[in-house]
Chains A and B, each alone.
Chain A
Amino acid sequence: MKVPDVVGYAKTLPNVVYAENNLYTCSNDTQERIKEKIKEHQLNRVVVASCTPRTHEPLFRNTIREAGLNPYLFEMANIRDQCSWVHMHEFEKATIKSRDLVRMAVAKARLLEPLQRQSVPIVKSALVIGGGLSGMTSALEIANQGFDVYLVEREKEIGGNLRRIHYLLNGEKPQQELKTLITKVKENDRIHLFTEAKIETIEGSIGNFKTKIAINGDSREIEHGSVIVATGAKEYNPTEYLYGQHERVLTQLELEQRLAAGDGLLKSIGGNPRTVVMIQCVGSRDDERPYCSRLCCTHAVKNALKLKELSPTTNVYVLYRDIRTYGFKESYYTEARQKGVVFIRYDKDQKPGVSKNHDGLRVDVYDQTLGIPVEIATDLVVLSTGVVPHEDNKTIAQLLKVPINSEGFFLEAHMKLRPVDFATDGVFLAGLAHYPKTIEESIIQAQAASAKAATILSRESIELEGNISQVADENCDGCAYCVDPCPYKAITLLEYMREGAIKKTVEVNETVCKGCGCCQATCPKKGIFVRGFKLEQIGAQVDAALGVT
């Protein structure tokens, strides 16, 4: 586009005192220049036409603040990402569009008002929901930084899934570590542990949450500045492959329990099994749960190796669809093959069949490599069941106003850029609640989440958003249409005496409002608006775009 043309045009717009063209408007030099020009021409609004405000608005706001202007007296025209880059072959039209975009930005800038960000003190404690490995790790990390932690677990005991994991691929025995961890949590003065407890309500926002917990019929209210969600997940409870109907059909966790007990592999079958068949992807990667549960391949390899270690003559078959022992665990898969574990691939549309066979079981599977059906007589069938999210994640998600994905796991703010954050400030995520992950991944994520929580707790106060709702008392007649649509319950109806009569109006809780503007769009009387996005301000942009100003 013809940038000089756009600059020339900008100079003709009402209220524009000064306009110039820069090669790199975001460079340091230009920031200094902007400050100089503000002083030289006593500017009281600044418009930058360049890239996108999503990345660069904070920079320019800061610049004008340094020049003594309120940072909210700034507006951007997005003439790069939303104009020159998407109309690369339409020079003339892109130039016209840029003029329009600048005119719209100037129209809005004219109506901008200085805004103040309120600051509120931070409650220096955290709430951790879920007392599994992730929750306990988070709680300890935060407590060790000197902050109080409320650790809420709904079961009688803390420990979660880890209580059922008895050995790891590298030979470690996590139960001892778990005991130590539980003791540390229980003995830490800063950790306030509530078991058999249920979160009832959560109100407030970053820095100032209020949560009601029900414990044994009692109700307690706690205040905290941040939240970590570590509610974990559970093993899928199978209905297929005779599970629950035949005592020799187990899940991997059940097999692990028995292998760890050590007294002959299985008393019920009178000693070591001759043959064990494992079936992968049970309750995973199907139509109902299309995701991969990630852990089951490694879990199967782990238990297969354990079987071979305890009873080298036992035949172990693993029926799989795709196998991946991710991370640095590929070598264990190789080791399993070397030790004689047989891996047979089956297809989603041709699942294995399990049937009764005298005392034992019979497994039928179509071997894709050999191209023939295979029949295996076996003592045990072990199901590698998927990991499924808790149903009441939905409740927690609603209470905290954070999203869960279509599968029911919690969804972070950005998969790559913000791995432990929720889009809701002050709320973080760790462990299986996020998606199936190993012990070491859970620990790392819990440490990251607690570090993020601590960065909030270590501050004295927090600045709230400037672009939030404000009531126009003169217009508001207290109809309360805006009260219900508010997703944050930030609006309350109130009555007061004015000139001897009762006046109804609404009130905005500024520490809770996020500025979504549902109230403004619902109000029939312009009785409430979002600062910086008033109907008049948006309307001025519309008018400018249409050239009807």
Chain B
Amino acid sequence: MDEKFEPLIIGFCCNWCSYAGADLAGVSRIQYPTSLRIIRVMCSGMIHPNLVVDALTKGGDGVLICGCHPGDCHYQDGNLKAEKRAEAITLMLEDFGIEPERFRLEWVSAAEGARFAQVVKEFTEQIINLGANPNRSG
């Protein structure tokens, strides 16, 4: 495996919990890999499956959706809807010949800076093991 492989991961974080958890990781100076590019969304439930599939067909090495823990969603249960869609996304990825392991859904609360960093670390390692996305050009 290419030693220098630097994965590029797209992260969708909901504003109320996970994005705040990511901020807390920063405030607490908890270090994690530089692989993640966070996009702030209002709720994990707003992410259309196409956004995930597109990101991976266009060459992203991984996509991470982070939402509030069940019961904590700012909009009641957007996260549970995201969870249901995650199953559909996995099937879509298989259709496209993309490893479903490139996609992950995690719950991170606003208080879980350390957990956020841990999730990024683990997911980055998982992606490194999978190797670069063959769809990536250049």
Contacts and interface: CB of A to CB of B under 8 A. Distances in A.
A54 interface: yes
A13 to B, nearest CB: 16
Given A86-B31, A520-B46, 5 more contacts: A78-B38, A81-B26, A487-B76, A516-B45, A516-B78
A202 to B, nearest CB: 14
B75 A521 contact: no
Given A487-B78, A516-B75, A85 B27 contact: yes
Given A54-B23, A104-B39, A548-B58, A403 B46 contact: no
B85 interface: yes
Interface in A88-143: 88-90, 93-94, 96-97, 100-101, 104
B42 A518 contact: no
A441 interface: no
A202 B6 CA distance: 52
A542 B62 CA distance: 12
A530 interface: yes
A530 to B, nearest CB: 6
A86 B48 contact: no
A546 B42 contact: no
B75 A487 contact: yes
Contacts of A258: none
Interface stretch (B49-57, B95-103, B123-131): B49-57
Contact of A423 (B43, B74, B85): B74
A82 to B, nearest CB: 5
Contacts of B43: 516-518
Given A518-B81, A542-B10, A86 B32 contact: yes
A545 B10 CA distance: 8
A535 B8 contact: no
Contacts of B19: 52, 54
Contacts, number: 136
Interface string A512-531: 00111110111100000010
A541 interface: yes
A401 interface: yes
A485 interface: yes
A538 interface: yes
A539 B48 CA distance: 10
A521 B80 CA distance: 13
13 contacts: A53-B40, A81-B22, A516-B45, A517-B42, A518-B43, A521-B82, A535-B48, A538-B39, A538-B51, A542-B39, A546-B60, A548-B58, A548-B59
Contacts of B90: none
A80 interface: yes
A442 interface: no
A467 interface: yes
B25 A516 contact: no
B42 A82 contact: no
A521 B26 contact: no
Nearest to A522: B81
Given A101-B37, A546-B58, A88 B31 contact: yes
B92 interface: no
A5 interface: no
A32 interface: no
B65 to A, nearest CB: 11
A514 B40 CA distance: 16
A406 B70 CA distance: 11
Nearest to A104: B37
B134 interface: no
A543 interface: yes
A403 B54 contact: no
- Residue from A93, A515, A520, A538 with most neighbouring chain B CB atoms (10 Å): A538
B78 A518 contact: yes
Nearest to A100: B37
B137 to A, nearest CB: 8
Q: Which 6 A-B pairs have the closest CB atoms?
A: A517-B46, A81-B26, A516-B75, A85-B26, A545-B37, A93-B34
Contacts of B51: 535, 538-539, 542
Interface string B100-138: 000000000000000001000000000000000000010
A154 interface: no
Contacts of A236: none
Contacts of B76: 401, 487
Contact of A542 (B15, B58, B71, B77): B58
B75 to A, nearest CB: 3
Contacts of A52: 19, 23, 26
A516 B46 CA distance: 6
- Residue from B12, B55, B59, B76 with most neighbouring chain A CB atoms (10 Å): B76
Given A80-B26, A401-B76, A515-B42, A86 B71 contact: no
A523 B78 CA distance: 15
Given A85-B27, A403-B72, A516-B45, A54 B20 contact: yes
B91 interface: no
B34 A485 contact: no
